[in-house]
């Protein structure tokens, strides 16, 4: 049963709400800063550690794969033992792994340490939205989630600039630790001002079998994508799909599931909103990774110059997301989210036409359009997901939000890895391979644009949001 440490939304004072929001927002800003700094550093990492195109794609991909493979388990553990407790563990893990990554001597070590960092990040992804949902009442939840979304995009905005400057004047290694001062402030200043913890009303049992099955399924699927077009790649994808279906069936029978399959299938708003989230992250996450490579390789820009161009997308998203979150408290989320999908599709189609001679003004326009589109989608869609479930399911729903986001991001980078493997192969990126690299960009953006079609259908078909209290 509930422990005395469990704090209800009704019992969360405005001071606790503000402290919890500051804690989560500062942490999400710091991690986004680190992620986007590393994105700008990818070409420098490839040169310093002699990574080929496929290995380079694994630097962000392995981080996402391990996060996706473990986030469901951490969402369930957060419900059982406390959401703040898991949040703190993840924050410490990110800090430690970042220091180790900055000292990585070679490519295999760096990729291996990204596994540790991805697992730590999964703890944060599984708890951020759940903590805010636990302390904020329904009428203010959308606004709080909008502020959280804005913090992520402010981090993505600052990352290319901060990371680009550090890469040029210090080293690519500094990109991994640029966020540490903020992360330490979260642990030392904000955390003590958030008393108590939040967890499910009944603890239940943890499904170790399901956790291992799901992690193995995700790993097989992504390893298969990266191995395309070889028979081993097709076998891995097929095996991963089969294991996911087995996992879904196993979860349906569990009294304490990691993933509430009955909720996905029986709650139309929750299920379609979650699927729309997966598809939208699948078509947008890799944009900045691809643009970073495009600007530094095909356009020969420095890391700082590339960062200045790249900030267009996260900047507009950071500005619009809080407004979109506030609007979603009054306007049906499916209207806002579907409009955002339309803008995103337009920007992606435009990006699929870029080449080495495309002017920077056109690239910036594309980034502004996709950023505006996603800002209209993100917070309203997350608010719809959390508003469609009861209080006892907040942790599971928060884990589902994080899972769909990370799975979408993973699919996005999987598309990039597949495009690189098919068009470039396991060779270092040199001017001789630039035509193949340009083709990989076009293929990736075109596939992403096509994914907007099913995303729009899910968003429009979900129906009206019915908050459950």
Q: What is the DSSP string of 182-235?
A: HHHHIIIIIGGGS-SB---SS-----HHHHHHHHHHHHHHHHHHHHTTSHHHHH
Q: Confidence band (pLDDT; 50, 70, 90) for 9?
A: very low
Best-predicted range by mean pLDDT (145-154, 339-348, 378-387): 339-348
Distance from C-alpha of 194 to C-alpha of 206, rounded to nearest angstrom: 26
Predicted pLDDT at 467: 43
Predicted pLDDT at 465: 63
- What value does the mean pLDDT take over residues 203-217? 86
Reported as a single tens digit per residue, the pLDDT across 307-331 is 888 888 878 887 887 788 778 777 8
Best-predicted range by mean pLDDT (31-45, 107-121, 196-210, 327-341): 107-121
Burial class (CB in 10 A: 0-12, 13-18, 19+), 357: exposed
Tokens describing residue 265: 């299938």
Residue 70 CA neighbour count, 13 Å, CB half:
20
Reported as a single tens digit per residue, the pLDDT across 350-405 is 999 988 889 999 999 999 999 999 989 987 887 787 777 776 666 566 666 667 77
Of 11 and 178, more confident: 178
pLDDT over 80 at 16, yes or no:
no
- What value does the mean pLDDT take over residues 223-236? 77
Which residue bears the tokens 């909720």?
Answer: 263
The pTM of this model reads: 0.75
Reported as a single tens digit per residue, the pLDDT across 17-74 is 888 888 888 888 988 888 888 888 888 898 888 888 778 878 888 898 898 888 888 8
pLDDT over 60 at 466, yes or no:
no
Q: Which domain holds residue 424?
A: 14-207+254-461
Q: What is the CATH number of the domain that holds 440?
A: 1.20.1250.20
Reported as a single tens digit per residue, the pLDDT across 233-282 is 788 888 888 998 898 888 887 877 887 777 777 788 888 888 898 999 88
For 420, residues 6+ apart whose C-beta sits below 8 A from its C-beta are: 53, 54, 57, 440
Predicted pLDDT at 144: 80
Q: Strand ranges (DSSP E) for 53-196?
A: none
Distance from C-alpha of 453 to C-alpha of 145, rounded to nearest angstrom: 25
* Within-domain flag for 215: no
* Within-domain flag for 183: yes
Predicted pLDDT at 396: 63
* Within-domain flag for 32: yes
> pLDDT above 70 covers what percent of the chain?
90
Computed on alpha carbons and rounded to an integer, the radius of gyration of the chain in Å comes to 21
Predicted pLDDT at 143: 73
Number of domain units in the chain: 1
pLDDT over 80 at 105, yes or no:
yes
Q: Confidence band (pLDDT; 50, 70, 90) for 114?
A: very high
* Within-domain flag for 184: yes
- What value does the mean pLDDT take over residues 174-185? 87
pLDDT over 70 at 10, yes or no:
no
Identify the weakest region by mean pLDDT among 65-74, 133-142, 170-179: 133-142
For 90, residues 6+ apart whose C-beta sits below 8 A from its C-beta are: 74, 120, 121, 122, 123, 124, 127
Distance from C-alpha of 360 to C-alpha of 295, rounded to nearest angstrom: 9
Q: Are 262 and 250 within 8 A, CB to CB?
A: no
- What value does the mean pLDDT take over residues 443-450? 92
Predicted pLDDT at 164: 83
Predicted pLDDT at 109: 92
Q: Are 83 and 24 within 8 A, CB to CB?
A: no
* Within-domain flag for 222: no
pLDDT over 50 at 142, yes or no:
yes
Q: Average per-residue pLDDT in the chain? A: 82
pLDDT over 90 at 347, yes or no:
yes
Predicted pLDDT at 153: 73
* Within-domain flag for 232: no
**Would you give the DSSP letter of residue 393?**
G
């Amino acid at each position: 049963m509930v422990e005395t440490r469990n704090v209800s939304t009704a019992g969360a004072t405005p001071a606790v709400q503000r402290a919890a929001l500051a804690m989560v927002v500062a942490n999400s800003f710091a991690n986004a800063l680190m992620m986007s700094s590393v994105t700008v550093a990818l070409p420098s990492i490839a040169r310093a550690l002699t990574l080929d195109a496929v290995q380079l794609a694994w630097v962000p991909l392995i981080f996402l794969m391990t996060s996706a493979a473990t986030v469901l388990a951490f969402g369930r553990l957060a419900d059982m033992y406390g959401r703040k407790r898991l949040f703190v563990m993840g924050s410490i893990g990110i800090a430690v792994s970042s220091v180790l990554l900055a000292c990585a001597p070679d490519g295999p070590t760096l990729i291996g340490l990204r596994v540790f960092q991805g697992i730590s990040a999964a703890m944060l992804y599984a708890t951020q939205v759940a903590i805010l949902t636990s302390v904020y009442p329904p009428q203010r939840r959308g606004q709080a989630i909008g502020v959280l979304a804005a913090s992520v995009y402010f981090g993505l905005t600052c990352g290319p600039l901060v990371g680009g400057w550090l890469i040029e004047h210090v080293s690519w290694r500094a990109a991994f630790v640029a966020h540490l001062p903020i992360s330490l402030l979260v642990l030392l200043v904000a955390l003590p001002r958030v008393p108590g913890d939040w967890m499910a009303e009944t603890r239940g049992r943890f499904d170790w079998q399901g956790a291992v099955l799901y992690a193995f399924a995700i790993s097989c699927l992504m390893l298969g994508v990266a191995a395309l077009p070889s028979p081993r790649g097709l076998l891995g994808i097929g095996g991963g799909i089969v294991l996911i279906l087995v996992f879904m069936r196993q979860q349906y029978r569990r009294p304490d599931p990691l993933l509430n399959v009955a909720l996905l299938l029986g709650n139309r708003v929750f299920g379609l909103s979650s699927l729309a989230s997966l598809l939208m992250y699948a078509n947008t996450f890799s944009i900045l990774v691809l643009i970073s490579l495009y600007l530094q390789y095909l356009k020969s820009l420095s890391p700082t110059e590339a960062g200045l161009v790249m900030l267009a997308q996260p900047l507009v998203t950071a500005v619009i997301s809080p407004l979109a979150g506030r609007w979603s408290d009054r306007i049906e989320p499916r209207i806002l989210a579907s409009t955002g999908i339309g803008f995103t599709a337009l920007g992606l189609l435009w990006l699929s036409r870029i080449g080495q001679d495309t002017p920077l003004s056109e690239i910036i326009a594309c980034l502004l359009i996709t950023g505006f589109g996603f800002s209209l989608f993100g917070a309203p869609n997350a608010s719809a997901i959390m508003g469609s479930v009861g209080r006892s399911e907040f942790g599971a729903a928060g884990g589902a939000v994080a899972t769909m986001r990370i799975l979408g991001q993973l699919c996005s980078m999987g598309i990039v890895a597949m495009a690189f493997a098919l068009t470039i192969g396991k060779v270092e990126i040199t001017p001789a391979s630039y035509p193949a690299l340009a083709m990989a960009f076009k293929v990736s953006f075109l596939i992403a644009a096509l994914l907007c079609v099913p995303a729009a259908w899910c968003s429009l078909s979900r129906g009206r949001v019915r908050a459950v209290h």
